Amino acid sequence: MRTPRSSRPLLHGRHLVLAISGGIAAYKAAYLARRLYEAGSQVRTIMTEGALRFLGEQTLAAITGHAVVTTLFGSKQAGPSPHTELARWADALVVAPATANVVAKVANGLADDALTATVAAFDGPVVLAPAMHTEMWQQPATARNIRLLEEDGRCLVGPVVGELAAGDSGMGRMAEPEEILAAVAGVFDDSLSGLRVLVTAGGTREAIDPVRYVGNRSSGKMGHELALEAARRGAEVVLVTTTAPPDMPCSVEVVPVESAEDMAHQVWTRASALDAAVLAAAVADFRPADVAGTKLARSDGPPQIVLEPTPNVLAGLVERVEPGTTVVGFAAETGGIDRAVGKATTYGVDFVVANDVTSPGSGFGTDTNQVTIISAAGERTPLEMMTKRDVAGAIWSHVTTLREDGA
């Protein structure tokens, strides 16, 4: 396990679920929750029935500011499906302590309570801190279960030798909260740490009059996921967006804009200070040449709207960035992505991300996307259909690879 230089930057703004099972080490979970919170994470908690015998749920609620989930059924505060809701919300799950019982259940895919059901519904990193008596830790069944967890890519921290329940001592003591904190930070990608990046999102609106505008169908979801993923990987992010984003960590500066002119100004004035930029916004190519000062009236008949080109935000950024800045463009096409190749090879960008918005599951407003990465030489790398969060991860990984190859 790699221990990060500092847990705070990697955990800042993270969504963490702390799941507590029924062992005497549960009392340490309150301090762990506090340390995760102090590192800048948002923390929500799950407690098993056994955990409630060692630690009061009000303690965790007071530390985290959220009600504790204790059951899959009948909890109005937890919602109709607490395990799936928590799994979608979380960036990582932390199970501390993880008793022999919970280790066995998670290793074998059982999901009969709120804790194990949430783990089963979650597709991100899971950190487990085993805690049990030495005899239980030394059981062949426990050893098999630990191997299964390791094969599944679960992160295990501890146990260690020390004092146990009832005055016993030996292997099986839960790792200390500070070590667990470092392990949680270690599961996150910090490949963008120390970098300042800019992301654009949404579709621009070009005014016809004070009420109406020329626009497009972009929801901004792809750009918002790119900003969130960059922040998760440790970057300082500027998000220039035309649509309201979801809650962002404080490492993301949100800059609201409306028109292509607004976006160009905000992007270009920051160009010289950037390490990387991903321009995912759908910028209008044309705008009304003359904007009416008052609302156009139906009684006056259809207006004659003359269009003029908008500023080319991507081309202008390429002209202004310092050498070594990674610039990524987007191309939303219909009926194929051949035109995107020309954009990739002529704009001076590092690569273009292209998608056909008429393809099922890949259009505006969807939660999924199927994109092709096109290099500056015109080489195409198609990606499979995946969530926009996963697409964002693939894009930033490609940026990281290019920067490392060019170092």
The CA distance from 336 to 404, in Å, is 31
Q: Is 108 a catalytic residue?
A: no
Q: Which value, to the nearest 10 degrees, does the dihedral of the CA atoms of residues 318, 322, 325, 329 take? A: -10
Task: Tell me the DSSP string of 168-190.
Answer: -EEEEEPPPHHHHHHHHHHTS--
Q: What are the contacts of 290-295 at 24+ separation with CB within 8 A?
A: 291/207, 291/208, 291/209, 292/208, 292/209, 292/210, 293/209, 293/210, 294/209, 294/210, 295/209, 295/210, 295/211, 295/212
**What are the structure tokens assigned to 139, written together?**
């059981």
How far is the C-alpha of 175 from the C-alpha of 371, rounded, in Å? 43
- In the block, tokens 């490609």 appear at 398
C-alpha span between 170 and 137 (Å, rounded): 10
User: Active site residue: 101, 108, 145, 216, which one?
Assistant: 216
**Max Cα separation, the chain?**
90
As a whole number of angstroms, the distance between CA 357 and CA 197 comes to 26
Count the Cβ atoms, other than its own, within 10 Å of residue 62: 11
Q: Give me 236's structure tokens.
A: 């300082």
Active site residues: 216
